[in-house]
Copies of this chain bind each other. A is one copy, B any other.
Amino acid sequence: MPINQRQVNIDLKEMPTQWYNILPDLPEPLPPPKDPESGESRLKNLPKILLGECLKQEFSQERWIDIPEELQHIYHQAGRPRSLFRAVNLEKRLDTPARLYYKAEFYSPTGSHKVNTALAQAFYAKKEGYERLTTETGAGQWGTALAYGAALAGLKCTVFWVRAVYSWKKDRRNLMELFGADVYASPSDQTEFGKTLYGKDANHPGSLGIAISEGMEDAIKDPKAIYCLGSVLNHVLMHQTIIGLETKKQFVKFEDYPDMVISCLGGGSNFGGFALPFVHDVLKEGKKIKFIAAQSKASPNLQGEYRYDFADYAEMTPMLKMYTLGHKIDMVPIKGDGLRYHGCSPILSLLRDKGIIDTIAYPEDEKHVFERATQFIRAEGFLPAPESAYSVACAIDEALKCKESGEKKVIAFNVSGHGFLDIPGFREVLNLK
């Protein structure tokens, strides 16, 4: 491969046809979800809030799960496979001996990696006879992705969006509507639970926990509807492994292989999707890779406790064994809002507990992160989402350490989304005009 090669892609025929399920390869069995010691069973609700196929995948011990052929075509329609870039220009400007590679998940129809599982869930929902998808969204990336997945599949979609975010992200809301979704500020007057809060305060700012409750209630009451989740769970991370599986094939074309694998981490879906196929190589093939999850000090969940906790504020979900800050914790608002979640996915939590994943948390003012993102923008030309800016910052910081030490490390990082709909965040943090 020429030294100046800046991009590779694989042919459509080379695109992975199976997802990677890490469950059978984990160092020890994954602690299962469980019910709290008192109160109603949450586990019994699982079949009502998870697609049949996804529920099967959630606990499967098969290492490789087929991507249905029709879904492979839908991935093509969404622009997969996505290129792997070598950051030649950035390396030069940093004057680092490290080699930097970034995966272009930002080349997504809705702007983020979330489409990889949204398309899969919409596909299974259609196959299982559902007519409508319901969900919640915080930052908005997941709601947009599911609205898109539903549109392509010809399904209806209802999104409950935390009012505090809904109110100011007008462009993103309109994008969901362009995809045909019904979008409600949460708490709303569309559900019984929502009404109990909305009735008292029509300007209630809402929370992810409340929005989850509304999405679940809406689906449970309508036999033609199914609730969909965008992160944390095993099957979601598995759908996302298409990212890392492509990346591994692209590294072969670059005739290179990473020493470090970096991405940002909120609930864990982009990090898991990018990293797990490489974790496989560490666990099963004796490779040595340093994995770093780039987080915010607003929600450094991997620096919390490893214990059973609820996935939502309202305690409607089963309890999951995970690194958590506590499901009732208050977190400072940040521009990288998609990273602001109290717990980390059970799979990644177990890997963290085994010492396989490292973590770094950046200050809540986000200045360092956005300045690093600006260096990336000027050298490589792509505008990362605020969340992805954490991934970029961590990669640049590691490249500069290599400059100090003289080490020629190979650093791979995922740019999980673009920032075209998040420019006001850059403006505020960087004091642009």
Chain A residues proximal to chain B, CB less than 8 Å: 4-9, 11-12, 70, 73-74, 76-79, 83, 85, 88-89, 104, 107, 109-111, 148, 151-152, 170-171, 173-175, 177-180, 374, 377-383, 418, 420-421, 423-424, 426-427, 430, 432-433
Q: List 29 A-B contacts (CB under 8 A).
A: A4-B73, A5-B76, A6-B73, A7-B77, A7-B79, A8-B12, A9-B9, A9-B12, A79-B83, A79-B104, A107-B107, A109-B381, A109-B382, A109-B383, A111-B420, A151-B377, A151-B379, A152-B381, A170-B427, A171-B420, A171-B424, A173-B433, A174-B427, A174-B432, A175-B423, A177-B433, A178-B426, A178-B430, A179-B378
- CB-CB under 8 A from A77, the residues of chain B are 6-7, 85, 88-89, 380-381
In contact, A423 and B88 (Cβ under 8 angstroms): no
- CB-CB under 8 A from A7, the residues of chain B are 12, 76-77, 79
Q: How far is it, in angstroms, between the C-alpha of A399 and the C-alpha of B392 when the chains are bound?
A: 44
Closest to A87 in B: B77
- CB-CB under 8 A from A381, the residues of chain B are 77-78, 109-110, 148, 151-152, 179
Closest to A148 in B: B381
Q: How far is it, in angstroms, between the C-alpha of A77 and the C-alpha of B381 when the chains are bound?
A: 8
Q: How far is it, in angstroms, between the C-alpha of A121 and the C-alpha of B226 when the chains are bound?
A: 52
In contact, B433 and A179 (Cβ under 8 angstroms): no
- CB-CB under 8 A from A74, the residues of chain B are 6
Closest to A92 in B: B154
Q: How far is it, in angstroms, between the C-alpha of A107 and the C-alpha of B382 when the chains are bound?
A: 11
Closest to A107 in B: B107
- CB-CB under 8 A from A85, the residues of chain B are 77
Chain B nearest CB: distance from A368 CB in Å?
16
- CB-CB under 8 A from A78, the residues of chain B are 381
Closest to A109 in B: B381
Q: How far is it, in angstroms, between the C-alpha of A125 and the C-alpha of B226 when the chains are bound?
A: 57
- CB-CB under 8 A from A83, the residues of chain B are 79
- CB-CB under 8 A from A173, the residues of chain B are 433
In contact, A5 and B79 (Cβ under 8 angstroms): no
Closest to A175 in B: B423
* Top 6 A-B pairs, shortest CB-CB distance: A420-B420, A171-B423, A109-B381, A7-B76, A6-B77, A151-B378
Max chain B C-beta neighbours (<10 A), residue from A110, A177, A178: A178
Chain B nearest CB: distance from A176 CB in Å?
10
Q: How far is it, in angstroms, between the C-alpha of A299 and the C-alpha of B41 when the chains are bound?
A: 65
Q: How far is it, in angstroms, between the C-alpha of A308 and the C-alpha of B175 when the chains are bound?
A: 43
- CB-CB under 8 A from A424, the residues of chain B are 171
Max chain B C-beta neighbours (<10 A), residue from A70, A111, A423: A423
Closest to A420 in B: B420
**Which of the residues B73, B79, B152, B170 comes within 8 Å of A379, measured between beta carbons?**
B152
- CB-CB under 8 A from A421, the residues of chain B are 420, 423
- CB-CB under 8 A from A170, the residues of chain B are 423, 427
Q: How far is it, in angstroms, between the C-alpha of A12 and the C-alpha of B2 when the chains are bound?
A: 12
In contact, A174 and B433 (Cβ under 8 angstroms): yes
Q: How far is it, in angstroms, between the C-alpha of A6 and the C-alpha of B70 when the chains are bound?
A: 11
Chain B nearest CB: distance from A116 CB in Å?
13
**Which of the residues B148, B177, B418, B432 comes within 8 Å of A432, measured between beta carbons?**
B177
